[in-house]
Amino acid sequence: LREKYGDVFTVYLGRRPVVMLCGTDAIREALVDQAEAFSGRGTIATIESIFQGYGVIFANGERWKILRRFSLATMRDFGMGKRSVEERIQEEAQCLVEELRKSKGALLDPTFLFQCITSNIICSIVFGERFDYKDRQFLRLLDMFYQTFTLISSFYGQIFELFSDFLKYFPGTHRQIYKNLQEINTFIGHSVEKHRATLDPSSPRDFIDSYLLRMEKEKSNVHTEFHHQNLILTLLSLFFAGTETSSTTLRYGFLLMLKYPHVAGKPGTVIWEVLLLLFGCRDGSRDERGNAGQLSRSSAGFRLELTEPVLLVDG
């Protein structure tokens, strides 16, 4: 198709038009040079009935800008670059190490452990608490999330994306996805109510507290985007954006270190230093990391292994 129509063309998946960008030049022009024009989020039919354009991930236009700006500012206050959150990340890393040591060198699928640590870090920023890896409520939450990801990417999930206008009236995987996300929203809603009952305006504890304070500040504005529905779906969005993607990246990172042990285990390399931090040989504070540029290049190497085709869905 590229040879016939060029680097930019449209195909129809069912009734949905999909713009295909081929080649680095076309992709760079769209996603870098004209990033603002191409920042809109296409709908995902299997979860559209839940999000309906709300929440920071699936919003568009002015709503997206407002929620994104608030989320980034709040994450800086309760996550990015804060020593307290670094300590929580180190705590999760130590929990991971202890679980790996329990295997005593036996074969182990680390997928579940990576899911736990990434979800717990999100929980610490959003809810202000972490969960034990055997906590029944936490395990149920993880199960709902990863079951939903599996169903969305299943064959039926992809077929539903093409013919959702027709298939939504019949039983199928999409209804289980809706049920799962409703259960997760119920869990989030209960946490929000607990925060509302114990809120201290002078000392916000986490993302939820900050959002509730902003809601109170703008309660007289009938057009405000800071309302209960956007709060619940923004929290759900943060889990969508930060759990499965991060745990998968960690899994690939470990795979690369196993594949290239002569690099990962060589004293003096950045990866070696990170391993020392993980295994408790150093405390891992930001002040002791003097080669962040090299670590960034290592991260770029991981991205080379994780690249995939990009589809921009129109509407």
pLDDT bucket at 147, cuts 50 / 70 / 90? very high
Asked if the model's pLDDT at residue 80 lies above 70, the reply is no
Structure confidence at residue 213 (pLDDT):
95
Domain segments of the chain: what residues? 61-242
Question: Of residues 248 and 76, which shows the higher confidence score?
Answer: 248
9's enclosing H/E stretch is strand 8-13
Question: Of residues 261 and 69, which shows the higher confidence score?
Answer: 69
The pLDDT > 90 percentage for the chain reads 35
Average pLDDT of the chain?
80
Considering only 27-36, 203-212, 255-264, which range has the smallest mean pLDDT? 255-264
pLDDT bucket at 302, cuts 50 / 70 / 90? very low
Q: Are 201 and 195 in contact (CB under 8 A)?
A: no
Indicate the DSSP class of residue 33.
Answer: I
Average pLDDT of the residues in 273-286: 49
Considering only 2-11, 72-81, 180-189, 252-261, which range has the smallest mean pLDDT? 72-81
Asked if the model's pLDDT at residue 296 lies above 90, the reply is no
Asked if the model's pLDDT at residue 252 lies above 60, the reply is yes
Considering only 47-56, 136-145, 270-279, 297-306, which range has the smallest mean pLDDT? 297-306
Q: Are 20 and 9 in contact (CB under 8 A)?
A: yes
Considering only 72-86, 155-169, 270-284, which range has the smallest mean pLDDT? 270-284
Asked if the model's pLDDT at residue 201 lies above 70, the reply is yes
The structure tokens listed for 237 are: 């969005």
DSSP calls for 72-118? HHHHHHHTTT-HHHHHHHHHHHHHHHHHHHHTTT----THHHHHHHH
Q: pLDDT of 117-131, one tens digit each?
A: 888 888 888 888 888
Asked if the model's pLDDT at residue 107 lies above 80, the reply is yes
Considering only 90-94, 175-179, 193-197, which range has the smallest mean pLDDT? 90-94
CATH number belonging to domain 61-242: 1.10.630.10
pLDDT bucket at 231, cuts 50 / 70 / 90? very high
Asked if the model's pLDDT at residue 306 lies above 50, the reply is no
Average pLDDT of the residues in 202-228: 92
Under 8 Å CB-to-CB from 2, ≥6 apart: which residues? Answer: 9, 20, 22, 23
Average pLDDT of the residues in 172-195: 94
Asked if the model's pLDDT at residue 226 lies above 90, the reply is yes
